[in-house]
Each structure stands twice: as structure tokens, then as C-alpha cells.
Amino acid sequence: MNKRTFIRICSAAAASPLLSPLFAWASEKLTNWAGNLAYSTDRLYSARTPEDVQGFVKEHSKLKVLGTRHCFNDIADSSSEFLSLKTQDKVLALDPKAHTVTVEAGITYGQLCPYLDKQGFALHNLASLPHISVAGACSTATHGSGEKNGNLATAVSGLELVTASGEVVKLSRDKDRETFYGAIVGLGALGIITKITLDIQPTFMMQQYVYEDLPLIQLKEHFDEIEASAYSVSLFTDWHKERVNEVWIKSRMEPGQKFKAQPVFFDATLATKNLHPIAELSAENCTEQMGVPGPWYERLPHFRMGFMPSAGKELQSEYFVPRHHAVEAIFAVERLRDMVSPHLLISEIRAVAADNLWMSPCYKQACVTIHFTWKQDWPAVSKILPVIEKELTPFKARPHWGKLFTTPRSQLESTYEKLPGFVALCNKFDSHGKFRNKFLERNIFGG
């Protein structure tokens, strides 16, 4: 293979102008975004074309792709080589009739969304931040909120993948059905995604309102009404004082969908200024609130592109619970407040619709997600997670693939009925385990 195709990121080569997009990662030890995980290698190469990807895959016996490094656990880690598709960030085709957009796998939502909006289109939903890569987000079932909204991977209608042999495999929702459903939330185990096709819809405007101090008793008695009140609803709580600190309501400005913002919402009070989910932090980093109309991509995420999302120095965990257990599960966590609170920055509760994607935590079941943004103290958090997981076991909780959890494989096996099928699919696409790492061995293959 042409050696110039790939750029070895190392300090010795730092002078090369070609390195500039990736150099910031490699000037120090290569870590994930939060800095809680130093990857096991800093051998990071950049593939500029799908052919580069094929060549690299053929030449190496072990490798992983790095997206935007926003996972908190070792799902993306590699002890041999890393490949980055960061420079493959173009929109390849927009089909207004089919309502689809096809993109290169290195693109982030922050790059894609303004383009789509300009062309008169939108995605159905976004995560709390636009900074993440589309391929990484879909591979880990990243989600936003909204009881009628599936996770971000549910927008995928087609995929191009370089498998372990270097072969290009094309999968489509219409033609490949079950194989497609197995491959979309692929956890980086099936191969390297080079192209993704996403469903789009006509662009829409939104308004965001925040309410403060919703009593937990209101949540208990009116959970379904609260979740149904708008297109996307997020509940932030520190589990103190039996209240939800902030309710974020994101509403589409269309007849029948528009949220009528009253001064009081289930005993919570309409905020009089923009807020950060962690009330002590500046709202400058957050998307506009107070009902100011704006395009979908500037209201669906909580955090603005170009600004630090969340708190920065933090850890995250999240559990998906079947929707019908939502209130019981929330109160099970609330009972742990004295243990949880000292280590917590904020919790968020969201709703996600059911889907058909084998490894999605919402496979065939609508869910409520209970999320924890922790202070960056893994020794303490690692002791709390098993306690939370035990409390949530009766509800068959599934952890977020990209966040920190201690759930053993036996439990993942009992909650993911499609796990054996997924393992078989991995073996078909990657029979020698080229894309396997410790995370996958521990949680998927059980080796």
C-alpha cells in the first residue's frame, strides 16, 4: 500500500501540515473526549478515501476505528492500530424525492445539520450535543428524547461497510431486513462504516422552554402526560428535595404540536432566563430557551456546536428501562439519593421509542433512560454502579453501550435476545476477530 496514504500521528512527524486536523489529539497521550480513558495505543492513522480504508484493513490483523472519541468506556479502544475517518466528512448525495441523505462516515452532526437545514431538510432527532460523528453515534445507539422518536440509528436506511477481508458490503433497510437490523447498532464489531444513508424530513422550527422545580409526586402521578407534552422532553434532577430541578421542553412549531407555555407546568415554574442542566454552570454553552423560535438543529441538542458540551471533566452512565416500568425505576434510583448525590453532577431522564435494531437498548420496547453525569472519580463511581444496576435489575435495565457500566455479560445476554444472532453476524463479517477489543470480548463474545 502507498505509505503516504496514511499519516502516522506521532510527535516526530508533528511538523507536517497534513497532520493538523488530528495533531491536537496526538500531541499528548491519546485519550477519549472526557480524558478518563487513555487509549491503549497512540498509533492513529488517517484514511482519506474508502479505498484507503480497504487497503489498511487488508494490511492489518487488528484495528479499531475512532469516531469523535465521546464514549466514556473502552468500546473504541485498540491495543494495536486506530484508523480515523475524520477527513471523510462530505455529504455525498441528497435525494429530495426519497427523503434521504448519504454521507461519508467521518461527518459529525454539527457539520451535517446546517447543510441539511439549508437544503430544506431535517433529521428526526439529535443527541444532547452535535459534536459527535454520525457513524460513532449510530454504532452505539445514541439517542435524544421524545416518546415518539427512535434513537439516532433508526434514521439509517443504508450502510456501506468494509469488512475484515477488505471487502465492501452494502446493506439497505429495504433489501437486507434482518441483517441490516443486526448491523446498524454494530458496536464497531462488524467492520468499518464508510458511508451512511439517513432518512430526512422537511425542515422545521422549534421552541424550547425550561421549567424549574417539578415535584417528584407530580412526576409519579402524571408521568405519561409530562412525557407526551411535547416532541422532546428531558427531566434533569440531582435527586435532592424530591423534585426534578429542570424540565426541558422542546416543541415543534406546527399546528397540533406547538406547546402552550403556561407560567406553571405540573407545579413547576417557567424559567425566566436560559439555564444549564447543571444550574451552577453558565447557560452560554446551551441552546436557546425561553421560547425563542429556532431551527430544529439549534433546539434539539442541549449544547451548542463550538461550545463545551456538558461539564467536561465528568463521567457518564445511563440505563434504559422499559417504559412501563419508568416510574418504579425512577423511584428505585431516588431511594439511592444519599449514595448517589455526593458523586453526581446531574441526572437526566428521557423517553425513547421502540425500534427493530438488534443491539439497540430499545429493541422492540419503548424505554425511559436514566442517565448520570458523574464527577470524575471512577473509584467512587465504580462502587455505586453495581448498586444502581442491582436496583434496576427487576426492570431488565440495559446500559448505554458508550457509557460506563458494570453489568456482567450474563445479564446482557438475558436482556438482549438478539445477542447470539449478533455474535453470529460478527463471525460472518469478521471471522478472525480483527475488530474485536477487550470491551467486545468482555460484553459481547464472553471470552
Ligand X SMILES: Cc1cc2nc3c(=O)[nH]c(=O)nc-3n(C[C@H](O)[C@H](O)[C@H](O)COP(=O)(O)OP(=O)(O)OC[C@H]3O[C@@H](n4cnc5c(N)ncnc54)[C@H](O)[C@@H]3O)c2cc1C
The contact set with ligand X (CB under 6 A) reads 33-34, 64-71, 75-76, 85, 105, 127-129, 132-133, 135-137, 139-140, 142-143, 187-188, 192-193, 309-310, 400, 402
102/195 Cα distance (integer angstroms): 7
* Cβ 32 vs Cβ 315: under 8 Å: no
Q: Which three cell numbers stand for residue 381?
A: 463511581
CB of 184 to ligand X, least distance (A): 11
Q: Which three cell numbers stand for residue 228?
A: 407526551
**Angle (CA) 434 438 440, round 5°:** 70
CB of 300 to ligand X, least distance (A): 10
| Residue number, 218 or 299, with CB nearest to ligand X | 299
CB of 281 to ligand X, least distance (A): 12
| Residue number, 218 or 305, with CB nearest to ligand X | 305
| Residue number, 310 or 356, with CB nearest to ligand X | 310
* Cβ 333 vs Cβ 391: under 8 Å: yes
Side chain identity at residue 359, one-letter code: M
CB of 312 to ligand X, least distance (A): 8
Nearest Cα to 350, choosing from 142, 139, 40?
Answer: 142
| Residue number, 148 or 258, with CB nearest to ligand X | 148
CB of 82 to ligand X, least distance (A): 9
| Residue number, 113 or 266, with CB nearest to ligand X | 113
**Whose grid coordinates read 458523586?**
343
- CA Rg value for the chain: 21
| Residue number, 128 or 251, with CB nearest to ligand X | 128
Report the residue closest to ligand X, judged by CB: 136
86/239 Cα distance (integer angstroms): 39
CB of 344 to ligand X, least distance (A): 15
CB of 261 to ligand X, least distance (A): 23
178/183 Cα distance (integer angstroms): 9
* Cβ 192 vs Cβ 161: under 8 Å: yes
| Residue number, 119 or 165, with CB nearest to ligand X | 165
321/324 Cα distance (integer angstroms): 8
| Residue number, 52 or 218, with CB nearest to ligand X | 52
- Angle of helix 173-184 versus helix 419-429 axis, rounded to 10: 100
CB of 30 to ligand X, least distance (A): 11
Where are any strands of DSSP class E within 123-231?
Answer: 156-162, 168-172, 192-199, 201-202, 205-215
Three-state SS at 12: helix
